[in-house]
Amino acid sequence: MTDIHDLTAEQQATAVRNRELSPVEIVDHYLGRIERVNRQVGAYVTVTDESAREQARKAERVVLEAADPAELPPLLGVPVPIKDLNMVQGVPMTFGSAVFDDLTGFVDDHVVTALREAGSVMIGKTNTPEFGLPCYTENSVAPPARTPWDLDRSAGGSSGGAAAAVASGLAPVAQGSDGGGSIRIPSSVCGLFGIKPSRGRVSQGPLIPDLFGLSTNGPIARTVLDAATLLDVMSGPTPGDLFMAPPLPDGGTFAAYVGREPGRLRIARMIEPVVPGAVIHADCVAAYEEATSLLVELGHEIVDVSPPFGPDLVPIFETLWSVMATMTPVDPLRADRLQPLTRWLRERGDAVTANALLSAHAQLQGALRVALAATAEYDAILHPTLAQPPVPIGYFHDADPAENFELQKRFTPFTSIYNISGQPAVSVPLHWTENGLPIGVMLAGRLGGEGTLISLSAQLEAARPWIGRTPPIWTA
């Protein structure tokens, strides 16, 4: 028998529109699974069961009163959790930190507003590391987020709770955010498809500034179509945004690219890490080589190229990252509640002068101009998403801050390149190890080129379907 969580978000939305499935049934099903499974995977830090049921009842009334089901919102009645770095009015918000144990959201982030307007049900807030800074999700406010493929291993970060929720069948899709790989990292270690959109595609407002343009909201899903549909809902600038992505052609949608053949693409591939000391694990090399073979089999041209960025940019990115760590205001009387890594990063950020910050930003922009020119002739770029398979809980967190940060850099030597450039990038779940651990590969595209990546990913998905792969906890 098919359970509700076996259905994709698109299938659930269609069943709601056709009055074959009630939003109340869907929400009750997920709340029941969260109650049984969440303590094992650490996906949710807050579950909004009462408000979710009320939203579901309202959605049900909308369906029953609709004259034309085709006019209903695209995600009506579909649960979509929100990462606990994004504010939801009236819902507790921790930023993954014990510093904010008494904060309640006083406004909806623009991405939350967009998801509400699409008819989705906000079922809870997903777990995130403190201020979203690390690439793993272990904090002082909730149990660690674990990949359901091996509960002794991390779900990644900083959207670790979001990925754990989707991979465990505790949500059909999830909103995430990505400032250095935070959608692609957990997507890789949880066996999911995730999209980091182009800079300026999704608004960061009204509270989160986009001064450096490194971070963006984006979707985490089990299928390319679900992710594309969620991206359609999230997309759009709002007044005050500093960046704006190239728009789609009039009337175009990202979901439409799922059914569109990509044609024969010229794809660069790079496996040389720019982070000194990073070593690519044999399983990640295997995933990269298998993806290459599949792309060739599908008729694409593959070209080996050298990285357009060098290791000299790593400390420059670190400068921006440490300054970003200081941008969340912390009451000095509560500063002792901060995690050691957060304190260490904030101390580094506080020591950066204005001149040094502007110089770092200018150097990254100069490198970006060279890199974009060097890769302009390619339709996509293939990398391993990560340098290693999923790591054990505590692998980073138990180390002292300097070693912790170094381990994170070596684990994620490819992802932050595309936060610097602003280009879209996806993690595609094409490979599993002999021990059953998922290993993603990353495809990056031209600025504004999410459509090409979606078409290509859908082609890969059709050739090597992954939707049937589920972890043992899926049947809990």
Which residues are marked as active site? 83, 158, 182
Residue 370: strand, helix, or coil: helix
d(CA 99, CA 101): 6
Give, in order, the Cα–Cα distances in Å from 199 to each of 28, 31, 241, 359.
36, 34, 11, 21
Nearest CA to 436 out of 474, 398, 396, 385 is that of: 474
Nearest CA to 455 out of 447, 445, 467 is that of: 445
Nearest CA to 216 out of 65, 7, 425, 427 is that of: 425
Name beta bridge partners: 303.
268
d(CA 95, CA 217): 15
Those residues with Cβ within 8 angstroms of residue 351's Cβ, 6 or more apart along the chain or in another chain: none
Burial class of residue 71 in the structure, from the number of CB atoms within 10 Å of its CB (0-12 exposed, 13-18 middle, 19+ buried): exposed
Name beta bridge partners: 431.
439
Q: Is 384 left (phi over 0), alpha (psi -120 to 50) or beta?
A: beta
Q: How many CA atoms lie within 13 A of 33 on its CB side?
A: 26
